Amino acid sequence: MTTTLISYARCSTDRQDLTSQKEALIKLGVKADRIYTDHGFIGTKRERPGHDQALAAVRHGDTLVVLKLDRLARSVPDARAIGDELTAAV
């Protein structure tokens, strides 16, 4: 089975740029078309389209890659809930 790297990047404001996050993820081996993003969404909002797409794209054996945990989850309990969701889904 081949492992696919799926990633998620987010910046909170429209003034911020996702370029450095995307470049770092590509250097880690993530293919550009597997980087899901949200731009202008603050971390306190759970409804983030790119976030949902990234989690939905993860299949059994895949690896979810984020540069910083705060880009993915709002809190430690939220990170655990995401982990539980992924575990249950695959």
Of 7, 12, 20, 75, which residue is the catalytic one?
12
Look at residues 34, 35, 43 and name the one whose alpha carbon lies nearest to residue 16.
Answer: 43
For 7, phi and psi rounded to 5 degrees?
-135, 165
Instruction: Let me know if 20 is a catalytic residue.
Output: no
Q: Where are the alpha helices (DSSP H) in 17-75?
A: 19-27, 49-57, 69-72
CA pair distance 77, 71, nearest whole angstrom: 14
Catalytic residues: 12
